[in-house]
Amino acid sequence: MATPPSQQPVQPYGQPPTIIINNSSSAAASSASFVGGAGLRRRRQSLWVHFWLFMFTAGIGNVLYGMHVSRWNRDRGL
């Protein structure tokens, strides 16, 4: 069913919802990362470290590396 060129198509719904993006939390997190000049950042686990640990330690090193990174982040409250 085509609409005539002089007529707008009828929409069965109202206006689209307003989308609000709140970036204040990420700004606060980045400014808080330099507490006292220490520059505390959450330590991430490396894919390449896990790969090489799997190749050389048959997975045991992966478990120990994951525990080390998790403990490092937990001790610093990150």
Rounded distance between C-alpha atoms, residue 53 and residue 46, angstroms: 11
Mean per-residue pLDDT over the chain, rounded: 74
Rounded distance between C-alpha atoms, residue 29 and residue 69, angstroms: 20
In this predicted structure, the answer to whether residue 37 has a pLDDT above a threshold of 80 is no
Question: SS3 for the chain, per residue?
Answer: CCCCCCCCCCCCCCCCCCCCCCCHHHHHHHHHCCHHHCCCCCCCCCHHHHHHHHHHHCCHHHHHHHHHHHHHHHHCCC
In this predicted structure, the answer to whether residue 40 has a pLDDT above a threshold of 80 is no
Question: Which residue's entry shows tokens 């997975």?
Answer: 59
pTM (two decimals): 0.45
Per-residue confidence at 49, pLDDT binned at 50, 70, 90?
confident
